[in-house]
Structures are given as C-alpha cells and as structure tokens.
C-alpha cells in the first residue's frame, strides 16, 4: 500500500519559534493587512506551551510577516482599549468579551519592546482582524518589557 499524501487541510507552518500544524479554519482575514505589510491579508495566531504567554502572529503569504505577540494585559494589567463604532464595524460587530488582543513585540539585542499603542485585535467569531491605530492613545508605542504579569 502506498503512503497516503499529507492531509491538505493540515498544512505545516515553519516559524522561528517552531513548526506548527494549522487547519485552514484557523486563518484570520486582515482586509487592510498590517501597516508595512499591507500585502499580507491572511494571518495565523500560533501558540505553543513553550512560547506561552507569547504567541506568534504569522502571515500565510510569506515568512517575513512573522511577529512575536503578547496579550497587552500580561504586560500592563490595567490595559484597556476602547473600540469606536467604526472599529466594531470593521470587526463585523463582535462580541467584545470574545475579542483576542495582541500587542506586537520587538526583540532587540538589549531590550524587548511591546507596542501597546497599536494592538492587533481579532474577532474569532468572524475570523477578522486589524491593527488599531488610535491617534490619541495613553499607551506607548515602545513599552520596555521587564516582567510579565
């Protein structure tokens, strides 16, 4: 008996943080892409035990759009971000309790920075996401990560 082909519904994604098996229904649509990566419209949020509480936000289109991310409240426990009517419309009128929030992490040689100003928000109900760009935010673009909450 010949070996079965790899199941097409479980592609394997290789990242700097390991190899992950993903199903196509895990693909999140980012209709506007991410600033700087506007051509990337489909992303995955990858988790693993080794990486917790960090996650990997990985573009399906290309390996270059791969980010380390963390829930903003793991960095700043009081973190709160208010969605505008327009934001809610872009997310397909989500159940706000169910939203997934991710702050992108920049890893430098001597420090780790977390972008608390422009978090990525995902509505898992509609598998829709985008990066919030508030023009008046109290939170820093480069918050230096010292400890996790």
Partner 1 sequence: MLVFTRRRNEAIIVADGIEIRVLRVTKDAVRLGVTAPADVPVHRQEVYDQIREENRRAAAPAGLPAGLAQLVAHSDGGS
Does position 117 interact with partner 1 (CB under 8 A)? The reply is: yes
3-state secondary structure string across 124-138? CCCCEEEECCCCCCC
**Do residues 17 and 56 make contact, with C-beta atoms less than 8 angstroms apart?**
yes
Does position 101 interact with partner 1 (CB under 8 A)? The reply is: no
* Region binding partner 1 by CB under 8 A among candidate stretches 3-11, 22-30, 100-108: 100-108
One of 43, 66, 94, 143 touching partner 1 (CB under 8 A): 66
Q: CB under 8 Å to 128, separation ≥6 — which residues?
A: 28, 29, 30, 31, 90, 91, 92, 94, 122
Does position 104 interact with partner 1 (CB under 8 A)? The reply is: yes
**Which residues, listed in sequence order, are joined to residue 120 by a DSSP beta bridge?**
102, 131
Does position 82 interact with partner 1 (CB under 8 A)? The reply is: no
| Sign of the CA dihedral running 134, 136, 142, 145 | negative
- Whole-number minimum distance, CB 17 to partner 1, in Å? 6
Residues that bind partner 1 (CB under 8 A): 16-17, 31-32, 34-37, 50-54, 63-68, 74, 85-86, 89-90, 104-107, 112-113, 115, 117-118, 130-131, 133, 135, 141-142, 145, 147-148
């Amino acid at each position: 008996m010949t070996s079965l082909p790899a199941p097409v519904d479980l592609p394997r994604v290789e990242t700097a943080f390991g190899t992950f098996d993903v199903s196509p229904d895990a693909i999140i649509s980012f209709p506007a892409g991410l600033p700087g990566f506007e051509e990337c419209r489909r992303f995955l949020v990858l988790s693993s035990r080794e990486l917790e509480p960090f996650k990997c936000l990985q573009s399906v289109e290309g390996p270059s759009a791969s980010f380390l991310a963390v829930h903003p409240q793991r960095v700043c426990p009081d973190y709160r971000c208010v969605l505008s009517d327009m934001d809610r419309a872009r997310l397909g009128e989500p159940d706000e309790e169910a939203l997934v929030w991710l702050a992108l992490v920049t890893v430098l040689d001597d420090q780790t920075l977390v972008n608390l100003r422009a978090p990525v928000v995902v509505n898992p109900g509609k598998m829709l996401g985008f990066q919030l760009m508030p023009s008046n935010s109290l939170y820093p673009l480069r918050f230096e990560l010292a400890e996790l909450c």
